[in-house]
Structure 1
Amino acid sequence: MEKLSEPSVEAGAEAQQRCFRVIANARAGTVLETGAENFVRRIEAAFADEGCRAEIELLPPRQLQERLRAAIGDKTVIPVIAGGDGTVNGALPVLLECPRPVGILPLGTVNVLGRDLGLLGTIEERIAAICQGEPVAMDLGSINGRPFHSISGMGFFSLMAREREHARRRFPFSRTIAFAFAATRSILFTRPIRIEMEIGGDQRQVEADAVLVTVNEFDGADWRRSRLDGGRLEVHILDTGGLLSRAKAALSMLTGSWRTSRNLVSLTAEAVTLTRRDKRRGHVTFDGEVERRAGSLEYRLLPAALQVIAARRAEI
């Protein structure tokens, strides 16, 4: 595997000469919990412990893209985006402009992408993994041209994402209570959606509680991918089965048994188009972020679209 290049450093130079520029979301949960000044000191110290330098820019979300683009344009630094899955999602249009590997420092609650990159443990352990990591090329997906890195969907799963955000603010002291609250409201208030689906050249009409599209295959209780470069999208359709079906789906997501659910159908493709038959605007999730969208959703695979620094191979 190709080793991570060191920008503007002559061959044989020591690792401590590398400089990372960390563009961090000031509203990330970890930042708010730690406090801005303590967070910056902790990040600087963690990079220093690995023999690296770090320039930290702690910014509100609206300024992240501009400063990230500036970091990418500075070839003397290795750019790092720091935040949760939603922050990384918002940064993807800029990250795709970078011709060299970029770092991702997970600071969110779920950190789906961070886990898949092998960036686990404490902040210090994640930073050590970035400093010691190697570049991998990973697939992305797109929805009507907008990129996403892991998961998108509508229906039950979209409502779960919205309710989870509300629950996290209401119950910041317990993720278990927040999940239970979000799951209960989603089970009670989900309404079936009617979808026209075009996948693999076939067309079908679907009535479902949820449709979820993932970049490559997820599995298990912690929703992990064995491959980041599998070269396909996976489409999951949760059949309409009422409250009991949705309750079982929520429980199976928590226990990791969701793939064996009798109410779930999974298909693979490089492209899929979903169109709501009622033509109304509906909520759609993008890596945990939620928007209202109308019209057809054209999902496409972007193979090996992004080079990222990882603590694991693209295939394990």
Structure 2
Amino acid sequence: MPDLSEPSVEPEARAQLRCFRVIANARAGTVLEAGADNFSHRLEEAFAAAGCSAEIELLPPRQIQERLRTAIEDENIIPVIAGGDGTVNGALPVLLGCTRPVGILPLGTVNVLGRDLGLLGTIEERVAALCRGEPVAMDLGSINGRPFHSISGMGFFSLMAREREHARRRFPFSRTIAFAFAATRSILFTRPIRVAMEIGGEQRQVEADAVLVTVNQFDGAEWRRNRLDGGQLEVHILDTGGLLSRAKAALSMLTGSWRTSRNLVSLTAEAVTLTRRDKRRGHVTFDGEVERRAGSLEYRLLPAALQVIAARPAEI
């Protein structure tokens, strides 16, 4: 396969040399809206227009990991995982075994990682950005050995993730209405959690409406990272201020002012352990996916764990 780091090859010419194999989630909203055949055709045309070739495979989620392994074994192509943040999360165990850069094509609703990689706009614009992109090193996080690429949390944030999925199905015509619906239910039904926290060698006991762990620092209304290789986890603790506190938190997330919220405490570390003091299984988010977990959650940083093709540098 072509050497993506070869300095003598101009980006425009390098795009011409690239051959991709796209492993796409057939259940992604973008695919379902367009129809499988129409989407495949549109994607092939987008790659051709950008000067690249691509093989497109639309697969149900249970088959994605197997086909992605096959794509990674083929040294003549660049493997691409296409789907939402949850699809990419599920593919991380396979992607971590790849020793060359991989592509990510965002097809979800939120696309936290896709935005951070500079893959924005229409499908055609995202494909063009992928074709002209350059490999960057990207940090990951892990929870008890399970990798995640962007965000994990419990409490208010995990309830928001669950309610957002429900609202997205109920209000597919408006993201604003879906967000408002999810936020309202989360504000009303969140219950405080008591957590024992070990961070930076210190023990803390916190009672909070939410605890959120991110890979590197996010900022602003769009929740963007200035660095993909900042080498740290950031832990956000939303205090138990009741309905008003949660309402302000939801509004600050929407407006981008959450960094200055008096109800939020943020800490940085390379490792943190969270233990629910009630010992019950609780909902935990992994890049938008939600699971019930019991026992301690050991978060660890995986520095520069993945080489991804991005349309922006690792640091901006």
Structure-1-length-normalised TM-score: 0.96
1:108 aligns with 2:108: yes
The 8 Å contact of residues 101 and 309 in structure 1, kept in 2 or not, is answered as yes
Spell out the pairing of 1:165-180 with structure 2 (5 A cutoff).
Answer: 165-180=165-180
**CA shift at 1:17, angstroms?**
4.3
Structure-1 residue corresponding to 2:262: 262
Structure-2 residue corresponding to 1:223: 223
Structure-1 residue corresponding to 2:92: 92
Structure-1 residue corresponding to 2:10: none
The 8 Å contact of residues 21 and 55 in structure 1, kept in 2 or not, is answered as yes
Q: Secondary structure at the match of 1:69?
A: helix
Structure-1 residue corresponding to 2:125: 125
- How many equivalent pairs are there? 309
Distance 1:85 1:18 in 2: 24
Q: Deviations over 1:69-128 (max 9, x none)?
A: 000001111000000000000000000000000000000000000000000111111111
1:60 aligns with 2:60: yes
Distance 2:256 2:286 in 1: 21
**CA shift at 1:149, angstroms?**
0.3
Structure-2 residue corresponding to 1:39: 39
Structure-2 residue corresponding to 1:151: 151
Distance 1:312 1:41 in 2: 27
Q: Deviations over 1:168-216 (max 9, x none)?
A: 0011111111001000000000000000000000001000000000000
After superposition, the CA RMSD in angstroms is 1.3
Unmatched tracts of structure 2, length 5 or more: 7-12
Unmatched tracts of structure 1, length 5 or more: 7-12
Matched AA of 1:31: V
The 8 Å contact of residues 157 and 212 in structure 1, kept in 2 or not, is answered as yes
Matched AA of 1:229: D
Q: Secondary structure at the match of 1:94?
A: helix
Structure-2 residue corresponding to 1:75: 75
1:283 aligns with 2:274: no
**CA shift at 1:278, angstroms?**
0.3
Distance 1:43 1:54 in 2: 8
Q: Secondary structure at the match of 2:82?
A: strand
Matched AA of 2:197: M
Distance 2:209 2:57 in 1: 42
Pair 1:132–1:264, CA change in 2 (3 A): same
The 8 Å contact of residues 4 and 14 in structure 2, kept in 1 or not, is answered as no
The 8 Å contact of residues 81 and 88 in structure 1, kept in 2 or not, is answered as yes
Percentage of pairs with the same residue: 90
Distance 1:98 1:14 in 2: 21
**CA shift at 1:5, angstroms?**
5.5
Structure-2-length-normalised TM-score: 0.96
The 8 Å contact of residues 18 and 131 in structure 2, kept in 1 or not, is answered as no
Give the ranges of 4+ consecutive aligned residues of structure 1 lying more than 4 Å apart after TM superposition. Answer: none
Matched AA of 1:220: G
Q: Deviations over 1:135-182 (max 9, x none)?
A: 000000000000000000000000000000000001111111100100
Distance 1:185 1:150 in 2: 24
Spell out the pairing of 1:169-208 with structure 2 (5 A cutoff).
Answer: 169-208=169-208
**CA shift at 1:51, angstroms?**
1.6
**CA shift at 1:16, angstroms?**
3.3
Matched AA of 2:44: E
Distance 1:16 1:244 in 2: 55
Matched AA of 2:208: A
The 8 Å contact of residues 154 and 284 in structure 1, kept in 2 or not, is answered as yes
Q: Secondary structure at the match of 2:160?
A: helix
Distance 1:165 1:15 in 2: 36
Distance 2:57 2:120 in 1: 22
**CA shift at 1:56, angstroms?**
0.4
Distance 1:50 1:259 in 2: 38
